[in-house]
Chain A
Amino acid sequence: MNAPKPASPPVLQLEQVVRHRAGRPAVRDVSLSLEAGQVLGLLGVNGAGKSTTLALIAGALRPDSGAIRLQGQDFLEHPERAGRAIGWLPEGAPLWPELTVREHLDAHGRLRGLNGTDLDRARDATLERLELKDLGDRLAGVLSQGQRQRLGLACALLHRPALLVLDEPANALDPVQVVALRGLLRELAANGTAVILSTHQLTEVTAVCDRVAILHEGTLRYDAPLRADGHAALEKTFFDIAMAGRAQAA
Chain B
Amino acid sequence: MTLLAVTRLELRRLFVRPLGWIIAALALAELGWRFALLLQIFLLNQIRLAALPDGPGYTDLVAVRMLSSFMTGSPLPFGLIELALLLVPLLTMTTLASERNAGTLPLLFASGLSAARILLGKYLAVLIWLALWLVLALAIPVYLAHGATLDWGKLAAATLGTFLTLALLGAIGVACSAFASHPAVAAVAALMVGLALYCINLGAQLAGVNSGFLNWLAMSTHQENLLRGLVSSADIVWFLLAIAVALALGTQRLAAERERG
The answer to whether A and B come from one shared complex is yes
Asked if A179 CB lies within 8 Å of chain B CBs, one says: no
**In terms of DSSP, what is the predominant structure of the interface of chain A?**
mixed
Asked if B22 CB lies within 8 Å of chain A CBs, one says: no
For the complex, give the distance between the alpha carbons of A236 and B215 in Å: 73
For the complex, give the distance between the alpha carbons of A98 and B4 in Å: 19
Asked if B2 CB lies within 8 Å of chain A CBs, one says: yes
Contact of B107 among A80, A94, A97 (CB under 8 A): A94
Given A99-B13, A113-B2, verify A83-B106 contact (CB < 8 Å). Answer: no
Given A107-B9, A111-B2, verify A95-B102 contact (CB < 8 Å). Answer: yes
For the complex, give the distance between the alpha carbons of A52 and B106 in Å: 12
For the complex, give the distance between the alpha carbons of A99 and B109 in Å: 19
Instruction: Spell out B's residues near A (CB within 8 Å).
Output: 2, 4-6, 8-9, 12-13, 16-17, 102-104, 106-114, 258-259, 261
Q: Which residues of A contact B13 (CB under 8 A)?
A: 96, 98-99
Q: Which residues of A contact B261 (CB under 8 A)?
A: 19, 21, 52, 55, 61
- Per-residue contact bits, chain A 65-109, to B (CB 8 Å; 1 contact, 0 not): 000000000000001111110101010101111110001000110
Asked if A58 CB lies within 8 Å of chain B CBs, one says: yes
Given A79-B114, A110-B2, A113-B2, verify A103-B12 contact (CB < 8 Å). Answer: yes
Q: Which residues of B contact A94 (CB under 8 A)?
A: 102-104, 106-107
On chain A, the number of residues with a Cβ less than 8 Å from chain B's Cβ atoms is 33
**In terms of DSSP, what is the predominant structure of the interface of chain B?**
helix
Asked if A200 CB lies within 8 Å of chain B CBs, one says: no
Contact of B111 among A21, A96, A111 (CB under 8 A): A111
Contact of B110 among A21, A60, A98 (CB under 8 A): A60
For the complex, give the distance between the alpha carbons of A113 and B6 in Å: 12
Asked if A62 CB lies within 8 Å of chain B CBs, one says: yes
For the complex, give the distance between the alpha carbons of A31 and B9 in Å: 36
11 A-B contact pairs sorted by A residue (CB < 8 Å): A59-B110, A60-B109, A82-B112, A88-B110, A92-B103, A94-B106, A98-B17, A99-B13, A107-B12, A108-B107, A111-B6
Tell whether, in the assembled complex, residue A62 and residue B6 are in contact, meaning their CB atoms are under 8 Å apart. no
Tell whether, in the assembled complex, residue B103 and residue A86 are in contact, meaning their CB atoms are under 8 Å apart. no
Q: Which residue of B lies closest to A103 (CB)?
A: B12
Tell whether, in the assembled complex, residue A110 and residue B8 are in contact, meaning their CB atoms are under 8 Å apart. yes
Q: Which residues of B contact A186 (CB under 8 A)?
A: none
Q: Which residues of B contact A155 (CB under 8 A)?
A: 107
Q: Which residues of B contact A82 (CB under 8 A)?
A: 112
For the complex, give the distance between the alpha carbons of A112 and B108 in Å: 10
Tell whether, in the assembled complex, residue B103 and residue A58 are in contact, meaning their CB atoms are under 8 Å apart. no
Q: Which residue of B lies closest to A113 (CB)?
A: B2
Q: How far is the CB of B54 from chain A (nearest CB, A)?
A: 52
Q: Which residue of B lies closest to A87 (CB)?
A: B110
Q: Which residues of B contact A103 (CB under 8 A)?
A: 12
Tell whether, in the assembled complex, residue A97 and residue B114 are in contact, meaning their CB atoms are under 8 Å apart. no
Contact of A107 among B5, B103, B258, B259 (CB under 8 A): B5
Given A83-B110, A99-B16, verify A62-B258 contact (CB < 8 Å). Answer: yes
